[in-house]
Structure 1
Amino acid sequence: MPDYQAFRVELTDKIATVTINRPEKRNAMNSAFWSEIIEIFDWVDRTDEVRVVVLAGAGEHFSSGIDLGLLAQAANLVGKDVGRSAEALRRKILELQASFNAVDRCRKPVLAAIQGYCLGGAIDLIAACDMRYATRDAQFSIKEIDMGMAADVGTLQRLPRIIGDGMMRELAFTGRHVHGDEAQRIGLVNRVWDTQAQLLEGVMQLAAEIAAKSPIAIRGTKEMIRYMRDHRVDDGLEYIATWNAAMLQSSDLRIAMAAHMSKQKPEFAD
């Protein structure tokens, strides 16, 4: 496993734990973060041994969002010519979007384990994950509004499908903080725990349960869920029919059926 500046990556029992590792900076997202996350999730996607990902933050906080130093660099892209400045800024924003698109498009399920601050760009990140879990004292905020800008790396596009349009608008327009229990109530997170240790233990148990399933079935399920965000029901039914025409021929189906009938735990190939 290569060394990363902004992350720590471990692979154990089919579970890749990807930890934002800048605790002294409240895991703020510096320039290395944005490039390394693409590299990491490309590795996750290509590595058959990885069945599921747990995304976490080292220390007391998940992430305080984009590093202010990186925002200062973006300000340097602004010159005298409006057209050229806009083109440079647009290119930079699209680069940042690509980092979280890599998480969203990953074929493996991604579970976010959130404690402490989850602010600004961190909301964009967790919105690109499959499921989110938190401690009760976790603090969520679409902070961009208080910085005089609209969130531009995925929050406004993905969050309405997670918590609903009206609640997303309230949080985006006010920037107010949401704690763990409310986050669960509005559907931002699936479950909350009292402590970070309990959170990580609980999320790892869920990850292990997913990792024990057929990887063919898991990938097909994620692909269909993702596809349906942007398509009609008829399109989705047509797609799953074509997809499963191939995937139902996998040995995983026979293994799962045999295990079910014999009440044994199935073992699937990577």
Structure 2
Amino acid sequence: MSEYSAFTVELNDNVAHVQINRPEKINAMNAEFWSEIRDIFAWVEETPEVRVVVLSGAGKHFSSGIDLMLLAQVGGQLGKEVGRNARALKRKIEELQSSFNAVDACSKPVIAAIQGYCLGGAIDLISACDMRYSTADAQFAIKEIDVGMAADVGTLQRLPHIIGDGIMRELAYTGRTVHGEEAQRIGLVNSIYADQEALMTAVFEIAQSIAKKSPIAVQGSKEMIRYMRDHTIADGLNYIATWNAAMLQAEDLRVAMAAHMSKQTPEFKD
């Protein structure tokens, strides 16, 4: 496992803990963050021992979003010709998008644990996760509108599938802050907890419960759920039939059935 400047990564009992580690900068997303998260999720994908990912932020806040210094650097590279500026900006936006696409495309479940600020680009990030949990005092906001731009790294594309179109539009147009209780009510987070310690304890319990399941079944379920976001019911039914024509022959099914019949806890291979 590599060393990272914007993250710490640990693997214990089939759960990878990926933590944004810039607490002195409110975990703002600098240039290293965007490249390292791609590398980390490539490692997650390639490592059979990883069955679940917990994504968190060190310190008092999950993340304040994109580092303004990075935006200033991008702006400083622009010239006077609009067409060439546009092409350069499009390439940069697509590069940033690829970082969170790596999270979204990950075959293993990714669980976000959120405390304090979750602003701007951090909303893009948690929108790419499977589930989200937070402290009661967490603060969520789509802040891009307040700096004169539309969110461009996934929020506007993924969030309507999580909280619904109407409330997403309200938050995107107003930039207002949503606190933990409302976040749970609108479905942005599954549950809220009194403090960060309780949050992390609960999230790792959930992660461990998933990690004990058949990785064939868990990853197949995620693939089907993700596929349905962009396809019809008929497409999805055909896909799961084709998928399970192979996966139902996996050893995991026999292990699970035998354990169930003998009232034992099954143990699955990576």
Q: With structure 1 as the length reference, what TM-score do the two structures score?
A: 0.99
Aligned to 2:123: 123
The separation in 1 between residues aligned to 2:249 and 2:263, in whole angstroms, is: 22
**Count of residues in correspondence between the two structures:** 270
How far residue 73 of structure 1 moved from its aligned partner, in angstroms, is: 1.2
How far residue 110 of structure 1 moved from its aligned partner, in angstroms, is: 0.1
Aligned to 1:36: 36
Aligned to 1:55: 55
Aligned to 1:87: 87
The separation in 1 between residues aligned to 2:74 and 2:175, in whole angstroms, is: 22
The separation in 2 between residues aligned to 1:68 and 1:119, in whole angstroms, is: 13
How far residue 260 of structure 1 moved from its aligned partner, in angstroms, is: 0.7
Aligned to 2:254: 254
After TM superposition, the structure 1 = structure 2 runs for residues 3-152 of structure 1, keeping only pairs within 5 Å, are: 3-152=3-152
**Does 138-147 or 68-77 show the bigger shift?**
68-77
Q: Secondary structure at the match of 2:16?
A: strand
Aligned to 2:176: 176
How far residue 76 of structure 1 moved from its aligned partner, in angstroms, is: 1.8
Per-residue Cα deviation, 1:170-195 (whole angstroms, up to 9, x for no partner): 00000000000000000000000000
Give the letter aligned to residue 15 of structure 1.
V
Per-residue Cα deviation, 1:12-32 (whole angstroms, up to 9, x for no partner): 000000000000000000000
The separation in 1 between residues aligned to 2:49 and 2:80, in whole angstroms, is: 51
The separation in 1 between residues aligned to 2:234 and 2:108, in whole angstroms, is: 25
Q: Secondary structure at the match of 1:241?
A: helix
The separation in 1 between residues aligned to 2:248 and 2:92, in whole angstroms, is: 42
Give the letter aligned to residue 85 of structure 1.
N
Give the letter aligned to residue 74 of structure 1.
V
Q: Secondary structure at the match of 1:32?
A: helix
How far residue 49 of structure 1 moved from its aligned partner, in angstroms, is: 0.2
Per-residue Cα deviation, 1:216-249 (whole angstroms, up to 9, x for no partner): 0011000000000000000000000000000000
How far residue 79 of structure 1 moved from its aligned partner, in angstroms, is: 1.4
Instruction: Say yes or no: does 1:200 pair with 2:200.
Output: yes
How far residue 80 of structure 1 moved from its aligned partner, in angstroms, is: 1.1
Q: Secondary structure at the match of 2:113?
A: strand
**Contact conserved, 1:114 with 1:135, CA < 8 A, in 2?**
yes
How far residue 77 of structure 1 moved from its aligned partner, in angstroms, is: 3.2
Give the letter aligned to residue 248 of structure 2.
L
How far residue 78 of structure 1 moved from its aligned partner, in angstroms, is: 2.4
Give the letter aligned to residue 257 of structure 1.
M
Per-residue Cα deviation, 1:104-144 (whole angstroms, up to 9, x for no partner): 00000000000000000000000000000000000000000
**Contact conserved, 1:77 with 1:89, CA < 8 A, in 2?**
no
Q: Secondary structure at the match of 1:226?
A: helix
The separation in 1 between residues aligned to 2:12 and 2:140, in whole angstroms, is: 29
Q: With structure 2 as the length reference, what TM-score do the two structures score?
A: 0.99
How far residue 87 of structure 1 moved from its aligned partner, in angstroms, is: 0.1
Instruction: Say yes or no: does 1:153 pair with 2:171.
Output: no
Give the letter aligned to residue 71 of structure 2.
L
The separation in 1 between residues aligned to 2:83 and 2:51, in whole angstroms, is: 45
Instruction: Say yes or no: does 1:245 pair with 2:255.
Output: no
Aligned to 1:225: 225
Give the letter aligned to residue 98 of structure 1.
S
The separation in 1 between residues aligned to 2:125 and 2:174, in whole angstroms, is: 20
Q: Secondary structure at the match of 2:35?
A: helix
The separation in 1 between residues aligned to 2:152 and 2:162, in whole angstroms, is: 17
Q: Secondary structure at the match of 1:189?
A: coil
Q: Secondary structure at the match of 1:266?
A: coil
Give the letter aligned to residue 189 of structure 1.
V
